[in-house]
Every structure is written in structure tokens, then in C-alpha cells.
Amino acid sequence: MLFYLETLDRAFPTRLVGSVLETTGGTASVADFPAPVGAVVHIERSSGGHVPAEVIGFRNNRTLVFPFESLAGVRRGAQVQLVSTMRQIRIGDELLGRVINAHGTCVDGRPQPMLFNRTLVDRDPPMPSQRPRIDQPLSTGIRSVDSMLTCGQGQRLGIFAGPGVGKSVLLGMISKFSSADVNVIALVGERGRELNDFIQRDLGPEGLKRSIIVCATSNEPAVSRVQAALTATAIAEHYRDRGKNVLLLVDSVTRFATALREIGLASGEPPATRGFPPSVFATLPKLVERAGRNQHGSITAFYSVLVEGDDPSDPVADTMQGLLDGHLWLSRDLASSGHYPAIDILKSISRLMPDIVPANSLAAARNIRKLMAVYHENEDLISVGAYRRGSNKLIDAAIDMREAIAHMLQQQPTEHCSMENSTQQLLELGARCGGITVPPAEAAAEKQLAAAT
């Protein structure tokens, strides 16, 4: 059966062939080859075999193709043949627990599975008028997120961080502890050694069982790095359309944008913002809009953004903040002090939290934020001893509650905290911070109402 599927992949009603005229950097120019943009082609090697590539544009009556591998062995006049006008991958439950490359091939050293379903890599997002409202929370298993930055099923959140602040550990905790049915994890442009580190240290055997990992390391061509994010999104869409609640993790969008820049510049596109061509900022919304809810299931997406120099005005970070439904900022100062996960609550926000949590939980979170903001504003005075206790009751409360708040927001990477436990700790701490009272009967009634809706 596998032989017939591979034969069908190579079958076309017409045969389109061109020849290589020249190579510039990693791009090849092909003559007499009117293949559409996005088509997959094969470039013949003089030593035998072929180099898979993708059509990225046209210039001076020539077709520009970007290879998935090295162009070593390709000569002038080498034959170029159209393979497919649309990128597809095979998909099935047999991929759960496996590591695949950007083209859907398993690369974990185990036998290739038999897969009979296919899905397009490039798809349109759901129609805006057909998107159901997000009204149910998704438990991430992380206390600081579930209590202060509650995420909804189908929400899209960004994790913004500089290098070495704990981004990968946080993603591993979310994928391991979340209540999602399926995890799809895209590792785009990562170092080669980080794949096994993430699987064995951060994800673990339990998390791997319900996960599909799509990997394109930093040494792979830009086309493969771009397609890794698109392939992961297509797999998540496949499971969403079958009624699953999917967790999509993309690490990182910055390297995805960098690969897009490399392709754009190679195709002759002029640089615009800090060297990024306009096509990069047109492609980012097309990627993130594919996540979310539809009539069948949901894709809850976390996109990590590597902020260069911890600069929030970085063009990719600035664009992603406007596209997403919230963001988690990781603080280098918190990480340096041993506070993990190093989420800066005051700089982070979940835009859908008011729609998916009860009023008492929202009030408790606001009271805690208020005391955190008061302490932050007066931290210099408190540190040097210039503040006299009793001068301001709110500052006194912020000083008294600081240790309790910090304790609630910290969590070990191996520690799982349920949504119910996180909510209970939030309400108890919120009551201490702002005098909120939660009668047991009222709390039970609110819980029953939330379950009914």
C-alpha cells in the first residue's frame, strides 16, 4: 500500500520540466519553468539523486527556487521537475509520540508509520463569522497562569523572553500539565542538542505520549524552518476538525520570521523594518489566525517570541503583541533571583480572562495586581529604608503580602497544580489582599453555574 501511495505522489497529468541557469547564494534560477509559487520541485544532481526545493518567486522570466537541502552536486543546465503544486503531508494517530521533520517524515530513528490521511500544509483560517466565542478555560497546570492570566480554549498567547530566561522550561511544563487532548509542538530554528533536552528533561514520557513534535533545527534551510511552523499548524487543524482540544506550541516565532526574511531577501524583496521585508509582517497574521476555535474543536496556541536584547520594541515582538489575545513576559530579573516561572505579572495580560472566570476570581486577581503594582512603584523607597511604616496603609499591605504573593506565583518544573487548586489559592490570597470574602455556599453556587454554562 505504501508503494502505491508513493507512486500516486509522483503521478501528474502533465510533466513540467525546466533547467538551472544560475545559483545565487542558496537560490537557483530556473528557465522555462512556469510552476506556481509554493510548488515543490526536484533539482537533479550530477552525482545522482535530487535536491527537493520550493518555488519562491520569479525574476526576469526566470523561476526562483529555494532548496530544502544543500545545492552541492547541482550543475548548470541540471533538470528541474515539478513534483507537486500544493504541499501536503500524511497525518494520523500513529504520529503521536513521534518526532517528524518539516515535511512530515519521522526522524526519531523508529520505523516510518503507515499513514493514509493527508492534509494541506497551507490552509485558510476559519471564517470570522463562524468562530464560536471562547468561554471555557484551559488548565495549563501552572499556578501563576491559571490564577492570574487564565487562558481560554482557543486563545492565542505569546511568551516573550530574552535568551536564557526559562522559555523552553515553561513550554515544557505547559505541554506536560495542560488539559488539552493533543499537543503539537514546533521547534523552529533551535539548536540540534535542544531537541532531546526538551523531550527528556522538559516534556517527559507522559507528555510525549500525546504529543507530535515537528523539528527544523538552525542548520536547515530557511524553507524548512518556515514549513515546520506551517506543518505543525496543519496537524493541529487536523485534530481540531475531529473535535479535539489541541495545544499548539511554536518555539519560536522570531526564528520563523528570520527564515521568512532570508527567503524574502533571496527573492529580491527590499528590506523595510530593521532588515525585515514587508512579506514577513504579512505572513505572521496568516500563521496565528489559523489557530482558535471552530464548530468542531479548538486550537489553543502559545507562540514564543525571542526578544533581542530584552527590547519590547523589537519589530517581531511588537507585531505579535498586536496579533495575539494576550502575552506572558518573562523577566530576567525574576529569573536571576530564582523566581520560576519568571513571569512578570504586571507586564503580562490575558485579554479573555474577564470572559472565562467568575467575578470573585477576577476581583481577587485585581487585588493582588494592585498590591504588586504599589510595591513596584515604591520599591526604591522601601529598599533604601526611606519609607516609614504606617504612612500609607496600601504600601504597608503590599509589604506584608509580598512574600505570600511571590510564593503563590512560584512553582517547580516538576510540580503540577490543578485549575481548582490554583483558583482556591487565588481566592484565599485575594481575600487577604483586599478583604474579599467568599462564602462557601456562594462559591459552590458559582461553580455549579459555571459548569452548567
Looking at residue 3, what is its pLDDT? 45
CATH of domain 89-356: 3.40.50.12240
Torsion, Cα of 197, 178, 368, 389 (10° steps): -30
- Mean pLDDT score, 347-354: 94
- Mean pLDDT score, 90-118: 91
Using 50, 70 and 90 to split pLDDT, how confident is the model at 9?
low
Looking at residue 14, what is its pLDDT? 58
Helix H segments across 289-418? 315-323, 332-336, 353-356, 359-377, 379-383, 393-409
Kind plus residue range of the DSSP H or E element containing 384: none
Query: Which of 342 and 448 is assigned the larger pLDDT?
Result: 342
**Residue 98: is its pLDDT beyond 90?**
yes
CATH of domain 360-435: 1.20.1270.330
| Cα 121 → chain centroid | 16
Helix axes 253-266, 315-323, angle to 10 degrees: 120
**387-431 confidence digits (pLDDT tens):** 888 888 999 999 999 999 999 999 998 899 999 999 999 999 999
* Global model pTM greater than 0.95: no
**256-302 confidence digits (pLDDT tens):** 999 999 999 888 888 887 889 999 999 999 999 999 999 999 999 99
Using 50, 70 and 90 to split pLDDT, how confident is the model at 442?
very low
Q: Specify the DSSP class assigned to residue 177.
A: H
Distance CA 34, CA 371 (A): 64
- Percent of the residues in the chain that have a pLDDT greater than 70, as a whole number: 92
Looking at residue 451, what is its pLDDT? 47
Spell out the residues 6+ positions from residue 358 whose beta carbon is closer than 8 angstroms to its own: 446, 447, 450
Kind plus residue range of the DSSP H or E element containing 442: helix 440-452
**249-262 confidence digits (pLDDT tens):** 999 899 999 999 99
Say if domain 16-85 classifies as CATH 2.40.10.170.
yes
**What is the average pLDDT score of the chain?**
88
Q: Is the dihedral of CA 356, 361, 366, 368 positive or negative?
A: negative
Measured between its terminal Cα atoms, the distance across the chain in Å is 47
Q: Specify the DSSP class assigned to residue 321.
A: H
C-alpha cell read off for 131 = 468562530
- Mean pLDDT score, 345-369: 94
Which amino acid, residue 226? Answer: V
Q: Specify the DSSP class assigned to residue 329.
A: E
- Percent of the residues in the chain that have a pLDDT greater than 90, as a whole number: 61
Domain spans, the chain: 16-85, 89-356, 360-435
Query: Between β-strands 79-84 and 17-24, what pairing exists: parallel, antiparallel or unpaired?
Result: antiparallel
Among the listed residues 134, 123, 177, the one whose alpha carbon sits nearest the alpha carbon of residue 292: 134
Specify whether the CB–CB gap between 139 and 173 falls below 8 A: no
For residue 426, give the 3-state DSSP assignment.
helix
Among the listed residues 182, 173, 285, the one whose alpha carbon sits nearest the alpha carbon of residue 236: 182
Q: Specify the DSSP class assigned to residue 349.
A: E
Looking at residue 44, what is its pLDDT? 93
